[in-house]
Amino acid sequence: MRSRALVLSALLLVGCSVGPDYKRPELSIPDDFRGRAPDAPTGAESLGDVGWWQIFQDETLQLLIRTALAENYDLRIAAARVLDARARVTINRSFQFPDLSASGSAPYTYLPGDRAPSQFRETFNPVGSFDMFWELDFWGRFRRSTEAARDDLLASESARRFVVTTLVSDVATAYFQLRELDLELEISKRTLASRENSLRLVKLRQQGAVASMMDVRQAEVLFYTAAETIPDVERRIEQTENQISILLGRNPDAVPRGRPLLQQLALPAIPAGLPSSLLERRPDVQDAEGQLAAATARIGVAKSDYFPRVFLTGAAGAGGIKIDGSWFGPQGILVIAPQVTLPIFNTGRIGAGVDAATAQAQEALERYRQTVQQAFRDVSDSLVEHRKRGESRVQQEALVVSLRDAARLADVRYRGGVTSYLEVLDTERQLFDAELNLARTQRDELLAVVRLYRALGGGWKVDQPRPASSRGPGAETAVVEDRKGR
């Protein structure tokens, strides 16, 4: 009975782990996102749950995003980090089990010439053995270390997903900026052609003594203003194409175009979802929580240094010996050697290690809370930006309509001799600026949707099935066990 009790006690000791168990900390979660429009849909449905290929329906943009997910170097680096973290789980878990190794030797000795009477001329001693080393995990040092490695794996996978989210939004943002610059170039060229025609007519009027040279110079101002805009827009177009090429993991090159700017998105209502679900959807929040769980487990690793460490070593083998032509053996070897070490005095090193692990866990906790708070702010900022960008776009469209009519009336009044060309100059300049600003406002409204989609944690989901040849290392999804299932 006593031996059974000792065995049971040993099993209980092996099953215990020092240090705190991880629990998700209490958080202050708002009831709703600030900035949501009064008529916006409410409920659990969220824009962040929609696949990016359903949000961005331009086939060319979808192709660019798929290429980036397969070839982007940031994503490849993140995928390599997941593989590294997965290997570290195996490394840490291996310490919970015995190490078994095999060894063999066969020393041969031959002494030529004269020798002492006590020496043998020839000896041969082949020996083979299996060696074992096992540190019994009484206090959970290795279990806590494995737990921390698993949490690091989950964090690295969440970090990879965050890179995917960022990459999808960056490609979409750059593409919308490129299409807006294309629209600016179209407006500038159209305006330049119109002003070139106006300049020709004013010169004809001046030659006929109907208009003054001042009118000609003012018409030239309008013409050169539009002409100066075109090289600058073309420069920005090429630089944006270079930016997209780098996101695609390619050298700078031209980028194909798809739908026009105004046909990119059609989202009459954008649901934000529940604030509580944001914690499960945003990869950066899950990354911060994984780091917090890993730091919590490492407190147990540090505390286990207070307790004795028990080692069990052993060897089993066989061999023989040949002396001057005569064999002796075979011989068997069996060795078992338990060992216990107990820390007595180390100048506070163990306590300092526990304090350091506790401080790191506290830092991870504050970073997690900060990340959650920033996530709520990102959503609120994006919601109010999307709403206000839409309102600004409506007013800018009305301004462009008014200025177009004003420019038409100013041209009619000038041709009728009612007013000078200065009125035409002023209205044409305002109209050109307003049309460019309208294009930028329309772009900003699209970018607000992209930022809201990213803030809600969208964009990391696996794409629809496609041919295996189009997949790259950065597009693979690492399969890791969920923390809730452990």
Q: How confident is the model at residue 211 (pLDDT cuts 50, 70, 90)?
A: confident
Which residue did the predictor score with more confidence, 47 or 356? Answer: 356
For the cut 70, the answer to whether the pLDDT of residue 21 exceeds it is yes
pLDDT by residue (tens digit) across 26-67? 888 888 888 777 766 676 788 888 889 988 989 999 999 999
Radius of gyration (C-alpha) of the chain in whole angstroms: 37
Across-strand partners of 102? 130
pLDDT reading at 9 higher than 70: no
Look up the pTM and report it. 0.83
Q: What is the mean pLDDT of residues 449-454?
A: 92
Q: Cα(238)–Cα(181) distance, rounded to whole angstroms? A: 10
Q: Please state the domain extents for the chain.
A: 15-96+139-308+363-485, 100-136+309-342
pLDDT the model gives residue 246: 95
Per-residue confidence (pLDDT) for residue 28, from 0 to 100: 86
> Which pairs count as long-range contacts for 11-18, CB under 8 Å and 24+ apart, including other chains?
13/138, 13/139, 14/136, 14/137, 14/138, 16/138, 16/139, 16/140, 17/139, 17/140, 17/143, 17/144, 17/300, 18/139, 18/140, 18/144, 18/300, 18/303, 18/304, 18/306, 18/307
pLDDT-based confidence at residue 19 (cuts at 50, 70, 90): confident
Cα(364)–Cα(356) distance, rounded to whole angstroms? 12
pLDDT of residue 117: 64
Output the 3-class SS for the chain: CHHHHHHHHHHHHHHCCCCCCCCCCCCCCCCCCCCCCCCCCCCCCCHHHCCHHHHCCCHHHHHHHHHHHHHCHHHHHHHHHHHHHHHHHHHHHHCCCCEEEEEEECCEEECCCCCCCCCCCEEECCEEEEEEEEEECCCCHHHHHHHHHHHHHHHHHHHHHHHHHHHHHHHHHHHHHHHHHHHHHHHHHHHHHHHHHHHHHHHHHHHCCCCCHHHHHHHHHHHHHHHHHHHHHHHHHHHHHHHHHHHCCCCCCCCCCCCCHHHCCCCCCCCCCCHHHHHHHCHHHHHHHHHHHHHHHHHHHHHHHHCCEEEEEEEEEEEEEEECCEEEEEEEEEEEEEEEECCCCCCCHHHHHHHHHHHHHHHHHHHHHHHHHHHHHHHHHHHHHHHHHHHHHHHHHHHHHHHHHHHHHHHHHHHCCCCCHHHHHHHHHHHHHHHHHHHHHHHHHHHHHHHHHHHCCCCCCCCCCCCHHHCCHHHCCCCCCCHHHC
Of residues 358 and 414, the one with the higher pLDDT is 358
Q: What is d(CA 428, CA 426) in angstroms, rounded to the nearest whole number?
A: 6
Look at the block and give the residue holding tokens 């070897």. 333
Length in residues, the chain: 486
pLDDT at residue 401, rounded to an integer: 94
Confidence of residue 393 (pLDDT cuts 50, 70, 90): very high
471: pLDDT confidence band, cut at 50, 70 and 90? very low
Q: Please tell me which residue, 41 or 375, carries the higher pLDDT value.
A: 375
Is the pLDDT assigned to residue 464 strictly greater than 70?
no
Distances in Å between the Cα of 104 and the Cα atoms of 100, 132, 134, 321, 327 are 14, 14, 21, 14, 18
CA angle 402, 405, 407 (to 5 degrees): 105
Mean pLDDT, the chain, rounded, equals 85
* pLDDT over 90 at 360, yes or no: yes
Position 155 confidence tier, pLDDT thresholds 50, 70, 90: very high
Closest CA to 109 of 126, 93, 92: 126
pLDDT of 3 above 80: no
The Cα-based distances of 178 to 183, 262, 447, 453 in angstroms read 9, 13, 12, 20
* CA nearest to 457, candidates 29, 48, 45, 163: 48
Tens of pLDDT, residues 223-259? 898 899 999 999 999 999 999 999 999 999 999 999 9
Given the candidates 1.20.1600.10, 3.30.420.40, 3.40.50.2300, 1.10.150.530, the CATH classification of the domain at 15-96+139-308+363-485 is 1.20.1600.10
Whether cis (ω within 30° of 0) applies to the bond prior to 330 is: yes
The β-bridge partners of 137 are none
Q: How far apart are CA 318 and CA 181, in angstroms?
A: 81
pLDDT at res. 392: 93
Per-residue confidence band for 321, with pLDDT thresholds at 50, 70 and 90? confident
pLDDT score at 455:
92
pLDDT reported for residue 113: 65
Among 16-25, 58-67, 320-329, the minimum mean pLDDT is found in: 320-329
Tens of pLDDT, residue by residue over 85-144, are 999 999 999 999 999 999 888 888 877 766 666 667 788 888 888 999 998 988 889 999
